[in-house]
Structures are given as C-alpha cells and as structure tokens.
Amino acid sequence: MSHPKPESPALMEPMLPAAGQSSQLEDLAVDLIAKGSSFHSLLPTNLQTGIADLVRSMNCYYSNLIEDHHTHPRDIDRALADDFSTEPKKRALQLEAKAHIEVQRLMDHGGIPANPTTSTFITWIHRKFCERLPDNLLWTENPDSGERLRIHAGKLRQTNVIVGRHLAPEAKNLHAFLARFQEAYDLQRLSKVQQILAVAASHHRLLWIHPFLDGNGRVARLFSHALLLHLGIGSSLWSVSRGLARSVDDYKSMLMQADQLRRNDHDGRGTLSQQGLMDFCGFFLATCLDQIEFMRSLLEPKELLNRVAVYTEEEMRAKRLPKGSLALLRHAILVGEIARHELSGITGYKERQARNVLKELLAKKLLYSATPRGRVRLGFPIEVVERWFPTLYPGV
C-alpha cells in the first residue's frame, strides 16, 4: 500500500465516528459512562488500595500476553519484591513487567496531565517505561535489512516502518500527525459521549501513527488507561487489557480493519474507512463494558466475603491459620481497614491472643500494614488469588 503524496495528517481521517451515524455506538458510550462512573463506590476506599495493586499486576500480565511475552503471575509477584530470576530471558521479562506496573502506578496516583492526548504525555509514557528496561530489551531489528536498531526512551522513531501491511507515517512527519492527534482528541472540545468515543478511536489512531520504534502497543494501552481514568470512567480496579488479550485475534483483526482505506462513497469522506473505525470503536467499548461487569461481579463484597470465608475456614480446620482469622479478614473486607486497638473486640480474644492472630495473618500476607503499628488492610498474596478471585488469571 502506498500513500497519496504529499503525506499529510489527512491520511488518518476520520478521527472520530461520524456523529449520529451509529446509535449503537452512542448507546455503548452512554452505558460505559454510567457503569464506569459508579464502579468506584463498590468497595471501601482502603480495600481498593490493595486490589488496585493486584489489578495492575493483572493488567501487566495480559498486556504482556498481547505482545506474546509470557510472564507467569508468580514471576511478576517476585519482580515486585525485587526477587529476579538468574535466567536472563526470564529476568528481562520480570523487569519489563515491573516497569509496566510502575508506570501505571504513577498514572493511577495522579501522574496524568490535564490534557493526556499531547505528544508530551505520550512520549512521557514511553520514556518512563523504557528507562526502566534492561539494555537487551532496548533493541529491535529492521525486518528488511536485519540491522539492529537502538530504542531510545521517549524519542520518536527516526526510521520509516511497515507494520504488517500498514505503511506508517514517515518519521519526518510524526510531529505533524501527533499535532493533529492532539487537536482531534482535545477533550474540552468534545461532548461527554464524544470523549468516550475518542478513547476508542484514539487507541487505534495512536497505533496507526506508530510513533516509536518499538513499544507502541504497550504505550497505546497505557495511554487508553490514562484517558479513561482522566474522564472518571476508568479505574485502577479494572483493565481493558484483560479483555483485549482474551480476544486477541479479534483485537488485532479489528485494528487491521480500521487501517483500511475508504471502501466506497458510503464509507465516510476521509482517507481511511469510516466503517472500519466504527467497528473498532464498538469492539473496544464493548470490551471495556465486559471488563467492568467482570470485575464488578468478582469484587461484589458479599460474594468476595463468601469466597474468603470458605478458604479461611478450610485453612483453620487444617490448622494452617489460627482461629479468629475469619473475623479479622471479614472486618477488613467490610470496613476496609483495622485499627490495632480493635483486635480484641473483633476477634473476641484477649489482646495478646488477638495480636498473635494478627501476626500470623501478616506473616502470610493475608493482611497488610505499611508500618509496625499502623492500621491493617486486606492483603492479596498470589497464593490465594485463584481462590479469592477465580478467573482473574487463566490459572496461577
């Protein structure tokens, strides 16, 4: 496929689905606004902190799968504790996973600017991710010449690339394409429904621009997470990457369809297919809704408490957990945290015995405290994830 000349940002039009052409798309956007906005109130705030850490690891795991990088959840867990494999390839993947999680944590903790669609923010994502990678993951190969090319953190590519059958914009024109990207997805100029459609459309168009030599897929998924979060729809408690990875063939097929040129006079007025963009947006928004519903069902307090209770009672019968454990774990789920002076009242034990129960739960990481005397919240060690959060991963 060759580009019309001269190359200009008009090559990636349309930037948004045409207004009023798809009530189904608009319905998906309205549904996502409603369900995403209400998702935050599902759990006590203090409980959300620990679950957010778990979901960031899950997001990283599934984002890696899309890149065909298989990193076991246990290896990700070890990487977060700086426990790295001595095997070079596995260690590199662990460092990659840790980098992804750290960048998302920065965004989740307020590292998103007022306008996330700027090239400044997009290159920030790439820089923050790449500067955390080992050297052997900062090289790629030119598929035509076989030349090894260095990936520079946060730097736009200096070479032209073909991605599958898509000839990406020439390197010399990237600034112009990113300027049009920022203009088209300026959130202040869009209605709320258009903003949600822009999340989906910008995900494809950023990949279409392919601004970096490598890492574009991961940057696009982190960018979409940031955009959803900025709009008050996203959350550190759910991840679209899980849905994209579980339908990865459809995801890649939809991306390719949105790459296609306009088919005929009924397919919009831009260079690219209006229908292809609309189909991708529908797929992306439906995937977001599916993941919100999945995590809502998984985190519903009553059901979560039931799963934790079954696990804890089994462990107490096997004498792997002390009696009184369930009372503390239940309180952590329902209230969000435990003050240490409340231990006796919650367990019904005298202070010394109650503190011994707490000590064992902290040792097994079922409860967590940032300081030796601080308040305590629920912990999520990888060993219990499959029991407490079934189907979060394919199996750990």
Q: Is the pLDDT of residue 316 over 80?
A: yes
Q: What are phi and psi of 208, to 5 degrees?
A: -65, -40
Q: Can you give the pLDDT at residue 114?
A: 87
Q: Once rounded to an integer, what is the mean pLDDT over residues 52-64? A: 94
Q: Name the token pair of 46.
A: 């203090």
Q: What is the pLDDT of residue 144?
A: 67
Give the residue, 316 or 267, on which the prediction is more confident. Answer: 316
Q: What is the mean pLDDT of the chain?
A: 93
Q: What is the pLDDT of residue 124?
A: 97
Residue 6 has pLDDT above 80, yes or no: no
- Max mean pLDDT among 30-44, 133-147, 198-212, 267-281 falls in 198-212
In CATH, the architecture of 22-299 is Orthogonal Bundle (1.10)
User: Average of pLDDT values for 70-89?
Assistant: 94
Tell me the C-alpha to C-alpha distance, in Å, between residue 22 and each of 18, 226, 279, 282: 8, 26, 10, 10
Residue recorded with tokens 């200096």: 158
In this predicted model, what pLDDT tens digit does every residue of 95-134 receive, in sequence order? 999 999 999 999 999 989 989 999 999 999 999 999 999 9
Mean pLDDT on 49-70: 93
Between CA 14 and CA 354 the distance in angstroms is 63
Give the integer Cα–Cα distance in Å for 152 and 140. 11
Q: CA-to-CA distance for 198 and 29, rounded, in angstroms?
A: 10
CATH architecture of 301-388: Orthogonal Bundle (1.10)
Q: Is the pLDDT of residue 255 over 80?
A: yes
d(CA 51, CA 265): 49
Q: What average pLDDT does the segment 238-259 reach? A: 96
Q: What is the pTM of this model?
A: 0.93
% of the chain residues with pLDDT over 90: 84
CA distance 3 to 261: 10
Mean pLDDT is lowest, of 10-19, 37-46, 173-182, 226-235, for: 37-46
Burial class (CB in 10 A: 0-12, 13-18, 19+), 237: buried
- pLDDT for position 153: 97
d(CA 131, CA 126): 8
The answer, yes or no, to whether residue 215 has pLDDT greater than 90, is yes
Confidence of residue 396 (pLDDT cuts 50, 70, 90): very low
pLDDT at 393: 87
Q: Within its chain, how far is the Cα of 240 from the centroid?
A: 6
Q: Which amino acid is at 391?
A: T
What is the rounded distance in angstroms from the CA atom of residue 170 to the CA atom of residue 209?
9
Decide if pLDDT at 395 tops 60.
Answer: no
User: Does position 345 have pLDDT exceeding 90, yes or no?
Assistant: yes
Domain positions in the chain are 22-299, 301-388
pLDDT > 70: percent of the chain: 97
